[in-house]
Structure 1
Amino acid sequence: MEDRRRLEYATYEYNPTSIPPSRPRITADGPLLHVLNVTVRDSGPYELEATNDEGKTDAKIYINVQYPALIKDTSGNVSVPLGEDAVLECEVGGNPLLESMMKWRRSEFDFTNTEQKFGNQKAILKLFKVRRNDTGIFTCEVDNGIGVGASANVSLIVEAKPVIRKSKLLSIFAAKEGGTGVLKCEADGAPEVHFVWKKNRKDLQKAFGKYYNETEKGITNNLIL
């Protein structure tokens, strides 16, 4: 009896579809299924049906396409009031993808007061009762060993009222008569700190022609007179 085996159909992402002979990338040759230039979209279960005069039988095959890790999205810049909890998120992808392949990093940062969770294609970093010096950039990293790993930065801003830095170097300044004097003030706070200089309760910014100030990086302000 002649064996009349043939490929009847295949399921693609759980949806049965016939594979036309004209489709060049995926072709069927009897019991063989040829997939050229495999992509992530080709992942999923495929079903083979073989028939002859005696009946038919089915077989299921799953194609697991592995690809490098990537970062799809992040929580972006996160602003949290001083003393509150902060949550930073990073949505990742890749195959394979295990918890051990994801991590959060920040140079010289103590992660003792934090909790890291990984799962459902997310890397989550929770910081408890944030402090002023928690402000900064955290890096989410993922590497599954295929190709080059991926990383993305997430900024944390701890909202707090300004605190002026006090030191002897900032408390006394000297200038020659007739010359230009520069008084410097440094303060930490978020959001961005705005400075106002006063003398005898009068706003020096309004004294046109004699005083002006300039701010550097949002933390240092120079009064020039």
Structure 2
Amino acid sequence: MGVAIRVAGEADRELVVRLLDEAFQDDPVSNWVFPDPERRRAKHPGLMAAFTDVVLAEGRVDLAEDGSACALWLSVPAAGSHEGTGEGGGEGDGAQEDGPAQLRAAVDPDNERIELIGRLTADIHPEGRAHEYLWMIGVAPGRQGEGLGGALIESVLERCDREGLAAYLEASNARSRALYERLGFELSGRPLDLPDGPRMWPMWREPRPGGPARG
């Protein structure tokens, strides 16, 4: 599928936040973080804004030219490197230790699950090798199922394959897990079962000389 993709900048911030908010309102993990629908509608956009700000500052946001989808990536350095990846929920070695607590304080101080998910995903994040980390990918609800997410991911995986770089993500639902498996990701370690909540699947992809797998 031919999808025109560009790197988002600060001028695209509100578009990216809106995309992520709409795409993840009904996601199992977002529903666990904000189990009350009214509170989720009120607080979820702030959480997506915080994630967007981290990645705009420390990583890369790929955006479909028509504004229908976006992908948030962080480059995680090898163990022992002094390069950082910012703070927030789920990065690897570069995350500040108090990042999840700061995120909770900024978004919804009374919601301990914001801090908890940041710590739990950080705990399962692979250490050692440099890799590209797909933190989040969001597709507008009316455009899901068109292959936009796969196109955004493949554009980065092609570079990973050229450069011999691994990639990592956490799948938050079974449908996205199936997509990632088609692109060459495999389960990495044990799934993460959120307390009284859904399962997340840590997934790792080794670089492939032939490029991304297509199902």
TM-score between both structures, scaled by the size of structure 1: 0.22
TM-score between both structures, scaled by the size of structure 2: 0.23
Structure number with greater CO (CA < 8 Å, separation at least 6) is 2
